[in-house]
Amino acid sequence: MTAILHYAPDSNFNDVGGDQYNIHWQEPPAVSAFQEAVSTALNAVVRDRYYVPKCMQGTRHWIIDDIHRWLDDYDAPNILWLSGGEGSGKSAIASTVMSNLQEAGRLGGYFMCKRDDDLLSDPIAIWRTVASDLAGMRSDMAERMARNMRRRKIDPGRPDIDLHFKYLI
């Protein structure tokens, strides 16, 4: 039953003893103009040109499985920081996990740092970009972010990482 819940986010689930399952799935609506406006205000990094190849088939399963267990553990910290030396495969692992999550409809947001790129090495851009991803996926989150910006609790243009995380994520 856990596997079924894993693929039915924001759905109604009815388990009536035995083998009867009623699952109501709602496809996420298209991104609204309001969500687009919030994303634009966040000034996210456009990552279209930054594709990183996934891990080679059959490699790094142990770490990818660990990450997926972390994703399913609601008591675990809500941020995963993947670190390691240059060339250790961090980007390939992250790309593989992101691809898996996107395919399952579970990708919330991501940011991959790259030290020789001004945009991808800017710590302030991290939370603005992740927040933009989340706003594009969920209108309720976009509304909360917009409310926080209207109330001047957060200014995405200011380099205050703590406030970005608190009011955008």
**pLDDT single digits (tens) 75-116:** 999 888 888 998 899 999 999 998 998 888 887 788 888 888
CA 145/CA 134 separation, integer angstroms:
10
For residue 35, with 0-12 CB atoms within 10 Å meaning exposed, 13-18 middle and 19 or more buried, which class applies?
Answer: buried
Task: Check if the beta carbon of residue 97 is closer than 8 Å to that of residue 64.
Answer: yes
Q: Where are the alpha helices (DSSP H) in 20-122?
A: 33-42, 61-72, 90-103
- State the pLDDT confidence band at 60, using cuts at 50, 70 and 90: very high
Q: Which amino acid is at 13?
A: F
1-6 own/partner pairs: CB under 8 Å, 24+ apart? 6/72, 6/104
Helix (H, G, I), strand (E, B) or coil at 105: coil
CA 165/CA 78 separation, integer angstroms:
12
The confidence score (pLDDT) of residue 157 equals 87
CA 32/CA 108 separation, integer angstroms:
17
The pTM for the full model equals: 0.70
